[in-house]
Amino acid sequence: MSLLNARAVRERAHRMLAIGLDDALPNFRIHLDCIDRTVDLVLKVTREAHPSFEIPFHSRWRHFVANGDNRWADIADQSRWADRAARARAEFDLAIVSVFLDAGAGPSWRYRDPKTGSAIGRSEGLGLASLAMFAGGAFSADPREPLRVDAGVLANFAAADLERGMRVSDANPLVGMDGRAELLRRLGTLVASKPDVFGSRDTARPGGLFDQLALLADGQELPAPTILTELLQQLGPIWPSRLTLGGIALGDCWKHPALTTADATSGLVPLHKLSQWLAYSLIEPLQTAGIRVTDIDGLTGLAEYRNGGLFVDTGVLAFRDAEAAQQEHEVASSLVVEWRALTVALLDRIADGVRHRLKLDATSLPLAKILEGGTWAAGRRLARERRADASPPVKIISDGTVF
């Protein structure tokens, strides 16, 4: 079977959950009796932020809004676009680079927003910093056209360039700087090597993927899982130090001893967190360009530390070895892989519970809105309440390229 799709992520995550419910996983015990109170918390947090339940999708675009001020909309509305496709390419450029810079920032780093003077950390800070770099032409080869990302500029992007844009210093350290810069360079090199995909309507740029997806749309409709499959197939080779199968890079895919199968994929657990976060983030630019995105729930929940932390902090997941909570774990460790896979499956359980309480279905309340409402916000709230640095309950050694 292919591991480069959302169906494989969901199927293997639910297999991991089934093994856990038989109490046969090495690292975590599962307490489903805590699910109801987790649903309660998710609903409470959602109602506080979105009392009318008009919830936007969980995507990078939320992080370009600060104190109700939609920074990207202000820029886009003041720009003259040749057509809707030109705007979509720019929005793809921005989303792709910003998401690739969005792995965990660590507890210390802050971006001082020049507009408000506020010091903003984590994903929101990374979002505003990357938007400021994009709007300032940091990724463009043409000073007259700042709102673009050119493959050649990315391919030569140095860690020092990124440190400058992210305001990194000894007093303001950002986790995984070298990994982030290397990821951008890999992206630039790959985009330049595929002009048929990324340069069919312009010089090679990540935003050229819009034209590729537009070709795949049937009657101006495009299933969300197709976005992810295309991202994984076209951008898969950029991820460093990852597993391959038959010469194909598997991206955010890891080994776990409990997940055995009868074929060559035995032991492999696909998660594709950043790629799915990017797929969610490309939905709105496609919609703005007139393409209707369908089957949004064909994507899965995101295997990252806010969603995953929610389940540990509410007691749904419990460390089998209490000392493991104090230890740092590599992202490839069976504990982290297990935790992330269980997170994907348990998010489906939470979504079912939330919809049941509200008497809504997946069309009216897709998972992308429950994540935003929602599970991610609830996970962050618990982290802030329980730990002074708002860190996740699982200590992760990050290289800035996973989550």
Look at residue 281 in the predicted model and tell me its pLDDT. Answer: 96
Read off the pLDDT of residues 321-371 as tens digits, 9 standing for 90 and up: 999 999 999 999 999 999 999 999 999 999 999 999 999 999 999 999 999
- How large a percentage of the chain has pLDDT more than 70? 98
Q: Which residues of 281-298 are buried (b: 16+ CB within 10 A; e: fewer)?
A: bbbbbbeebebebbbbbb
| Domain match, 366 and 319 both | yes
Look at residue 390 in the predicted model and tell me its pLDDT. Answer: 87
Read off the pLDDT of residues 194-223 as tens digits, 9 standing for 90 and up: 999 999 999 999 999 999 999 999 999 999
| Domain match, 347 and 295 both | yes
Look at residue 177 in the predicted model and tell me its pLDDT. Answer: 82
Count of structural domains within the chain: 2
Look at residue 73 in the predicted model and tell me its pLDDT. Answer: 95
Average of per-residue pLDDT values in the chain: 93
pLDDT of residue 110 exceeding 90: yes
Whether the CB-CB separation of 140 and 153 falls below 8 Å is answered with yes
Higher pLDDT residue, 340 or 399?
Answer: 340
Specify which residues 294 forms β-bridges with. Answer: 223
* pLDDT band (50, 70, 90) for residue 247: confident
State how beta strands 292-294 and 221-223 pair. parallel
| Domain match, 336 and 262 both | yes
| Domain match, 66 and 50 both | no
| Domain match, 224 and 201 both | no
- How large a percentage of the chain has pLDDT more than 90? 82
Read off the pLDDT of residues 64-96 as tens digits, 9 standing for 90 and up: 998 888 999 999 999 999 999 999 999 999 999
CA distances from 44 to 39, 41, 278 (A): 9, 5, 27
| Domain match, 382 and 244 both | yes
pLDDT of residue 241 exceeding 70: no
Q: 168, 185, 208 — which closes off a domain?
A: 208
Give the residue numbers spanning the domain of 74.
62-208
pLDDT of residue 393 exceeding 70: yes
Look at residue 176 in the predicted model and tell me its pLDDT. Answer: 80
| Domain match, 222 and 204 both | no
